[in-house]
Amino acid sequence: MEGVEFGYKKFLCLSSQMIFDEKGLCYGFKLRKGSTHSCVDAAEMLYQTLHRVSAGVQKFFRADSAYSSMEIYNTCLNQKTHFGIALKENVWNSILEKNKRNLKWQKTKLRFFDSEKCEITSCLYPLNGLAQSKKFLRVVFIRTKIINPKKGEKHTHYHYAIVTDMTEKEMNNEHVMKFYRKRSQVENNIKDLKNGMDFHHFPCMSLRANNIWGLIGIIAYNLMRYASFSLREDGCFVQTTRKKIVMIAGEIISHARSIEIRIMGFILKEVARIQKAMNFFSEGDTFRLRPREGVKT
């Protein structure tokens, strides 16, 4: 299959780029070669999504460390979108070293690395080339102590860092961490897409054809996701939607020593209509089934 290459986890695969909103609807999809870095073409997809959002809507973006790049920062800033993005270890490590004497760690109730004894802080992150005349971003750190450190371990704590454009007045340190952690819902959306629409298996040998197949699948997924909100206020997975709306025409109920089949009224009407049409063709004038002269079938 074209495009199947070793990915970052060292197994053969294709790479896909997707963007979801808070409702789980997918706003972009692109299938790439397996070795393609996650951030490739991400800024373009992000721009194509954000610039179509109405000006009166407040926009937010969150992503993992693969998207911590100047291009992504500037796309968000130019589109007036607040963001919270995880930083790569080599980046936050240098920021931590430069600011370790000025950082004021405070206890937090947030859990981190399965620990309830965590501390949180933040500092400014100067960057050249930021859009909108911005000179600094803000980095929020959270840490917990390493109980059994390995030999040669440089740090006494586990750390995690989120970079954001928001000031502490707009969103305090704990809220930034809580805001970023909602990104985990995207993992559920991706899992739902792969399992519910069978994105584990692409059917074509051509990468372009598989990309088109994926786009059709995204349209179907969005329709199913949209329909799921009629079942639950927060929606549900595709498999649940399919079982409750698409697949199940009726229910078999055992009650009072009897078995009944209950179906929805509109389904019963549709079955009656189809049955009437079938009876019309089977019992009616057989000439109706013959094509007229000169008409090809």
pLDDT digits (tens, 9 = 90+) for 63-114: 999 999 999 999 999 999 999 999 999 999 999 999 988 999 999 999 888 8
Residue 9 tokens read as 């986890």
CA proximity to 2, closest of 204, 201, 213: 204
User: Can you say whether the dihedral through the CA atoms of 29, 58, 188, 25 is positive or negative?
Assistant: negative
Strands (E), 146-209: 157-164
Among the ranges given (106-115, 198-207, 284-293), the one the predictor scored with the smallest mean pLDDT: 284-293
Strands (E), 114-200: 118-126, 136-145, 157-164
Residue 73 tokens read as 């920062």
Q: Exposed/middle/buried for 247, CB within 10 Å: 0-12, 13-18, 19+?
A: exposed
pLDDT digits (tens, 9 = 90+) for 224-273: 998 888 888 888 899 888 887 777 667 788 888 888 877 778 777 877 88
pLDDT, residue 281, reads: 52
- In degrees rounded to 5, what are phi and psi of residue 162? -120, 130
Q: Which residues, other chains included, contact 12 with Cβ-Cβ below 8 Å and sequence gap of 6+?
A: 4, 5, 6, 34
Q: Average per-residue pLDDT in the chain?
A: 87
Q: Where exactly are the structural domains of the chain? A: 65-182, 250-289
Residue 246's Cβ-side half-sphere holds a number of Cα atoms within 13 Å equal to 13
- In degrees rounded to 5, what are phi and psi of residue 76? -65, -45
Q: What is the four-CA torsion angle of 236, 162, 175, 183, rounded to 10 degrees?
A: 0
Contact yes or no for 203/213 (Cβ under 8 A): yes
Contact yes or no for 75/50 (Cβ under 8 A): yes
In angstroms, the Cα distances linking 71 to 119, 133, 161 are: 31, 15, 19
